[in-house]
């Protein structure tokens, strides 16, 4: 009979040590998983400049066009975000259909405007490039669009 309590005591102490070790491992591993990758990711402007070999003047023009574009488009994305928040937080069973229809109409209009502005921006950038750079730029734009598709398919 004296071996059973001794065995249980040993088992409890062993399980306690294993659980403590597991908690420490999970806490340490969690901190590692939230660290960024070791390599730094270039922003798209720097990546574009590197890939198609932009001159300093072209880089400056591109930066100005990009800043203006994202400033204008950002306002529309903010408007879309506000409408979605209102839709998702204030919808009641009686008003859901009409509110959803109105919200979708606003969002679709803003998204169409964003698309038109983006096409205009891409054309303006293309116009500051040489013929050789334009070919590389077209491939770069396609690559960036495909990257976005891959990211969205993984739920990011």
Residue-wise pLDDT tens digits, 3-20: 788 889 999 999 999 999
Tokens 């102490």 correspond to 13
- Distance of alpha carbon 37 from alpha carbon 121, whole angstroms: 31
The upper half-sphere exposure of residue 78, i.e. CA atoms within 13 Å in the direction of its Cβ, equals 6
pTM > 0.85: no
Per-residue pLDDT tens digits for 95-127: 667 788 888 999 999 999 999 999 999 999 999
Topology of the domain covering 44-153: 1.20.120
Task: Output the pLDDT for position 156.
Answer: 45
- Distance of alpha carbon 100 from alpha carbon 79, whole angstroms: 15
- Distance of alpha carbon 118 from alpha carbon 123, whole angstroms: 9
């Amino acid at each position: 009979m004296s071996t059973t309590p001794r065995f249980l005591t040993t088992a409890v102490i062993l399980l306690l040590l294993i659980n403590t070790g597991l908690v420490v491992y999970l806490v340490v591993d969690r901190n590692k998983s939230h660290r960024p990758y070791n390599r730094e990711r270039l922003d798209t402007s720097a990546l574009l400049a590197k890939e198609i070999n932009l001159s300093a003047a072209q880089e400056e023009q591109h930066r100005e066009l990009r800043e203006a574009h994202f400033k204008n488009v950002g306002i529309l994305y903010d408007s879309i975000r506000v409408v979605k928040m209102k839709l998702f937080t204030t919808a009641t069973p009686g008003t859901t259909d009409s509110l959803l229809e109105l919200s979708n109409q606003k969002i679709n209009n803003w998204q169409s405007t964003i698309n038109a502005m983006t096409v205009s921006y891409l054309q303006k950038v293309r116009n500051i490039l040489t013929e050789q750079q334009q070919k590389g730029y077209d491939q770069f734009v396609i690559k960036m669009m495909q990257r976005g598709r891959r990211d969205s398919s993984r739920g990011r």
